[in-house]
Chain A
Amino acid sequence: DAKTTQPPSMDCAEGRAANLPCNHSTISGNEYVYWYRQIHSQGPQYIIHGLKNNETNEMASLIITEDRKSSTLILPHATLRDTAVYYCILTYPPSNTGKLIFGQGTTLQVKP
């Protein structure tokens, strides 16, 4: 299974953009990149996902490099409520019910 590497922790000032990197150099061609976050031991919450194109939704943007070996999750205007552990995970396309492997995640601390 392809693995992901994320920095263990990051800080961000409230109101600024938070850019969370993820390395997945062994990603296979049909694996999607998903981002989840977990706030204080609640169940993880879906944020966004993509295959090779950049994606944007109401929560965040996802930038995937052309070689697909890394990606960046962008929270455009971080708030204190965005303080959480962010997980970058890889999974297979919808037609293949692959298992989900979480890494250690990045603890994002948003500071006033």
Chain B
Amino acid sequence: NAGVTQTPKFQVLKTGQSMTLQCAQDMNHNSMYWYRQDPGMGLRLIYYSASEGTTDKGEVPNGYNVSRLNKREFSLRLESAAPSQTSVYFCASRTSSGNTIYFGEGSWLTVV
């Protein structure tokens, strides 16, 4: 997981609160991704960014917004958290050659 850093690692929110998950990579990658993983489930794509300044919806974008601040950083925002957003969130980036995808260590989010 070297090179992709996520913060915070753990967070508890109350329903209706907002928060931003931060992701940064120092590998000069163009593409970055946000996934969520519910218990016992596979990863589902929330949003992705093919390059700086562009973002696109994935499989489950509802309730989230993203910002590709610069080439290094890709943040995920929950404007009004809901219990259904309790999950583990993974950020990832991909080399320009597309050969390897690197994942962060995950952010555990609980909404009560």
Highest count of chain A CB atoms <10 Å: which of B1, B51, B101? B101
Q: A35 to chain B: closest CB distance in Å?
A: 11
**Most chain B CB atoms below 10 A, which of A41, A42, A97, A104:** A97
Q: CA separation between A101 and B92, bound complex, in Å?
A: 13
Contact of B50 among A46, A85, A97, A102 (CB under 8 A): A97
**For residue A102, which residues in chain B have a CB less than 8 angstroms away from its CB?**
35, 42-45
Query: Is chain A's binding surface mostly helix, strand, loop or mixed?
Result: loop
Q: Contact residue range for chain B?
A: 20 to 34
With the chains together, A36 CA to B1 CA distance in Å? 13
Task: Please tell me the number of chain A residues within 8 Å of chain B, measured between CB atoms.
Answer: 26
Cα A34 to Cα B103 with chains together (Å): 14
Report which B residues bind A (CB closer than 8 A).
Answer: 1, 4, 30-31, 33, 35, 37, 41-45, 48, 50-51, 56, 58-59, 88, 90, 92, 94-106
